Amino acid sequence: MHRYDDSAVRAAPHEAEVPDGEDQAQRAAEVAALQRVADAGEAAAAWVRELAGRQCEEDHGRALERVAEASGREIIPGSDGLLTEELRYTLAANVVLGASHTTGTLPELHDGERLALVAVCALAAALPSCALGDLARELNLLAGEPAAATDAGRTVTAAGDARVLPVRKPRPLGHEHGDPLNRLAYRRVAESAAESFEIALNYQGGRGEEACAEALHTALAAAGPGIAAAALLRVADDPALGLDPDQWEHLHRIAAELNLRVVEDLGGSNGDGTTALTQPRPA
Mean of the per-residue pLDDT values of the chain = 80
* pLDDT number for residue 250: 95
What does the CA dihedral 121, 126, 131, 132 come to, rounded to 10 degrees? 160
* pLDDT number for residue 8: 42
100-149 confidence digits (pLDDT tens): 888 999 999 988 899 999 999 988 888 888 877 787 888 888 878 888 99
Nearest Cα residue to 71 out of 126, 142, 124: 124
Is the pLDDT at 279 greater than 50? The verdict is no
Nearest Cα residue to 150 out of 62, 77, 67: 67
Structure-model confidence comparison of residues 265 and 142, the more confident one: 265
Is the pLDDT at 14 greater than 50? The verdict is no
Nearest Cα residue to 190 out of 91, 280, 99: 280
* pLDDT number for residue 70: 85
Is the pLDDT at 18 greater than 70? The verdict is no
| 164 Rama sector, left if φ>0, alpha if ψ -120 to 50, beta otherwise | alpha
193-219 confidence digits (pLDDT tens): 999 988 888 887 767 888 888 888 999
Predicted TM-score (pTM) of the model is 0.60
Percent of the chain with pLDDT over 70: 81
Is the pLDDT at 83 greater than 80? The verdict is no
